[in-house]
Amino acid sequence: MDRRKSQLGFLLSAGGIALAFLLPLAPQALPMIDRPLVSTIAVTAGGLFLLAALLADRHAALVGLAGAILAAASSLQLLEDPEIAGSAGIGFWMIVIACWLSVAIVLINLADLRQLRPRTQRAVNLLVPLLFGLTVFYLWEVAVRGLGVPRVLLPPPSAAAARFAGSLPTLASDFTQTFIRGVLIGYAIGCGAGLLVAILAHRYQFLSRGLLPLGNFFSALPLVGVAPIMVMWFGFDWPSKAAVVVLVTFFPMLVNAIAGLSASGHIERDLMRSYAASPRQSLAKLYLPAALPFIFNALKINATLALIGAIVAEFFGTPTQGIGFRISTEAGRMALDMVWAEIALAALAGMAFYGCVTLAERATTFWHPSYRT
């Protein structure tokens, strides 16, 4: 983005703040002038926008960002007034628009930065998506509270966060029930069994030629559908969830591991042969290490599938805890803030799980070309 455009954008943001002082905040609310705290913050934000427009260089992004944060703070402070929340007028939205516009310009400028030092580059790479996400949450919060969207439809993120913080014991018990018992146990059994069968299939060609098409077929099926059957067989508690997870994770692991075990090159195999390596030795020293990237690929796919499988299986019947159980009952009671808190929990668990698998992959397949830079 060129200088002119970002200068114009920051000027418009400052203009938005100025308009907020002239236009009504809400039909029956006090004007900005009569709110000393908010107007100080807003004036500072406007001043920072002007400064950013004046500078229009690398530092402008930081100054603009500070202004945007202050503008966001002032709009959130305004929402504390019950006169404004739910019936916000055009003046209020001017602040929100100013904030959004300035963040957009900052983002565009940051994303355009090139040829930085590696450390700065990494920080920028982290900052850009973080800012984007924060802006989305901010707009969600302001829109829901400013427009007065009923809480049963869409709660503001702050309500979900408060609920999350306020019901940690429930969330912890749900987490152990679904994740530690259902997902982890099922995941270990399913992936382990898949790997074992793949090793067998690698030894006996006949088995592999028969299993591969079947494995491909089964891994494309909507296997979560077996959840009700597993609930019938293994009861309401976690074994049925673990069983679903076993089934869901088995086939991707099988298919990937079979592909991985045949990934080693002819030259390496010949080398093992010329060393007179026993089948077990060549498995441990050649085939399994060569298959690791494929195995980790399956482990990553399965990390998501396992969580989905366990949660869906809980829709078919659970003891009175578990993420899926809580989501379906609280959604039925229209307590959507609790539902969002559970979803945040599931998301955090899913990301942490995936992250752990990725870390393990980095630690064990450091030799692979994709990591050797």
Partner 1 sequence: MTSSSLAPPARVPLLLRFGVVERYTPVATMVLALIAIWYVASVAMNWTLVRDGFEREETPYTFSDVLAGTMEAERPLLPAPHQVINAFVDGVFGYSPLAPRSLIYHSLVTLSATVLGFVLGALFGIALALLIVHSRVLERSLLPWIICSQMVPVLALAPIFIVVLGALGLQGLLPKSIISAYLCFFPIAIGMVKGFTSPDPLQIELMRTWSATPRQVLWKLRWPASVPYLFASLKVAITISLVGAIVAELPTGGEAGIGARLLSGSYYGQTVQLWAALVAAAVLASSLIALVGLAERGVNSRMGGH
Residues engaged in binding partner 1 (CB under 8 A): 107-108, 111-112, 125, 128-129, 131-133, 152-154, 206-211, 213-214, 217, 220-222, 224-229, 231-233, 266-267, 269-270, 273, 303-304, 307-308, 311-312, 315-317, 323-324, 327-328, 331-332, 334, 336, 339-340, 342-343, 346-347, 350-351, 353-354
CB of 171 to partner 1, least distance (A): 14
Pick between residue 233 and residue 371 the one whose CB is nearest to partner 1: 233
Pick between residue 21 and residue 140 the one whose CB is nearest to partner 1: 140
Contact 25, 32 (CB under 8 A): yes
CB of 80 to partner 1, least distance (A): 26
CB of 318 to partner 1, least distance (A): 13
> Alpha helices of the chain — where are they, by DSSP H?
3-22, 36-55, 58-79, 90-112, 118-147, 157-166, 168-175, 185-203, 205-219, 227-234, 238-261, 266-274, 279-282, 288-314, 323-332, 336-364
Contacts of 219-223 with CB under 8 Å at 24 or more apart are 219/251, 219/252, 219/254, 219/255, 223/247, 223/248, 223/251, 223/309
CB of 355 to partner 1, least distance (A): 8
Pick between residue 89 and residue 317 the one whose CB is nearest to partner 1: 317
CB of 204 to partner 1, least distance (A): 10
Pick between residue 46 and residue 309 the one whose CB is nearest to partner 1: 309
Pick between residue 29 and residue 191 the one whose CB is nearest to partner 1: 191
Nearest-10 crossing angle of helices 168-175, 336-364? 50
* CA pair distance 263, 257, nearest whole angstrom: 10
Pick between residue 261 and residue 339 the one whose CB is nearest to partner 1: 339
* CA pair distance 266, 292, nearest whole angstrom: 18
CB of 218 to partner 1, least distance (A): 9
Contacts of 335 (CB under 8 A, 6+ apart): none
CB of 344 to partner 1, least distance (A): 9
* CA pair distance 143, 149, nearest whole angstrom: 8
CB of 305 to partner 1, least distance (A): 9
CB of 77 to partner 1, least distance (A): 27
* CA pair distance 314, 305, nearest whole angstrom: 14
Pick between residue 37 and residue 153 the one whose CB is nearest to partner 1: 153
* CA pair distance 331, 337, nearest whole angstrom: 9
Pick between residue 74 and residue 178 the one whose CB is nearest to partner 1: 178
Pick between residue 166 and residue 225 the one whose CB is nearest to partner 1: 225
Measured CA to CA in angstroms, residue 327 lies from 96, 121, 177 at distances of: 32, 40, 14
* CA pair distance 66, 192, nearest whole angstrom: 51
